[in-house]
Amino acid sequence: MIEITRLTKAFDHKVVVDNVSMTVETGTITVVVGTSGSGKSTLLRMINRLEEPSGGEVRINGQATSGMTPHLLRRRIGYAIQGNGLFPHHTVARNIGAVPRLLNWPKAQITDRVDELLDLFSMPPQEFRHRYPRELSGGQQQRVGVARALASRPDLLLMDEPFGALDPIIRHRAQEDLARIQRQLGSTIILVTHDMEEAIRLGDKVAVMDAGRLVQYAPPSDIIARPATRFVGEMLGEVDRPLRLLSLIPVADVSEPGDAPGAAIDAAASLRDALSACLWSGRDALPVVQGGRITLKAIRAKAEQPA
Ligand X SMILES: Nc1ncnc2c1ncn2[C@@H]1O[C@H](COP(=O)(O)OP(=O)(O)OP(=O)(O)O)[C@@H](O)[C@H]1O
Q: Which is nearer to ligand X, 38 or 140 (CB)?
A: 38
Contacts from 95-98 at CB under 8 Å and sequence distance 24+? 95/133, 95/144, 95/148, 96/144, 96/147, 96/148, 96/151, 97/151, 98/148, 98/151
Give the other-Cβ count within 10 Å of 36's Cβ: 7
* Sites of contact with ligand X (CB under 6 A): 11, 16, 34, 36-42, 194
Q: Distances from the Cα of 135 to the Cαs of 89, 90, 239, 250, in angstroms?
A: 11, 12, 42, 39
Q: Which is nearer to ligand X, 123 or 209 (CB)?
A: 209
Q: Which is nearer to ligand X, 16 or 29 (CB)?
A: 16
Strands 63-64 and 55-60: antiparallel
Q: Which is nearer to ligand X, 128 or 231 (CB)?
A: 231
Compute the distance between CA of residue 109 and CA of residue 138 in angstroms, rounded to an integer. 28
> What is the closest distance, in whole angstroms, from the C-beta atom of residue 193 to ligand X in the complex?
8
Q: Which is nearer to ligand X, 195 or 204 (CB)?
A: 195
> What is the closest distance, in whole angstroms, from the C-beta atom of residue 34 to ligand X in the complex?
5
**DSSP structural state of residue 252:** G
> What is the closest distance, in whole angstroms, from the C-beta atom of residue 44 to ligand X in the complex?
8
> What is the closest distance, in whole angstroms, from the C-beta atom of residue 47 to ligand X in the complex?
12
Q: Which is nearer to ligand X, 9 or 244 (CB)?
A: 9
Compute the distance between CA of residue 207 and CA of residue 219 in angstroms, rounded to an integer. 9
> What is the closest distance, in whole angstroms, from the C-beta atom of residue 286 to ligand X in the complex?
40
Q: Distances from the Cα of 126 to the Cαs of 22, 43, 131, 179, in angstroms?
A: 42, 39, 10, 25
> What is the closest distance, in whole angstroms, from the C-beta atom of residue 95 to ligand X in the complex?
24
Q: Distances from the Cα of 226 to the Cαs of 34, 144, 162, 216, 244, in angstroms?
A: 17, 37, 28, 10, 13
> What is the closest distance, in whole angstroms, from the C-beta atom of residue 203 to ligand X in the complex?
16
Q: Which is nearer to ligand X, 207 or 265 (CB)?
A: 207
Contact by Cβ (8 Å): 162, 81: yes
Beta strands in 66-123 (DSSP E): 77-81
**DSSP structural state of residue 204:** S
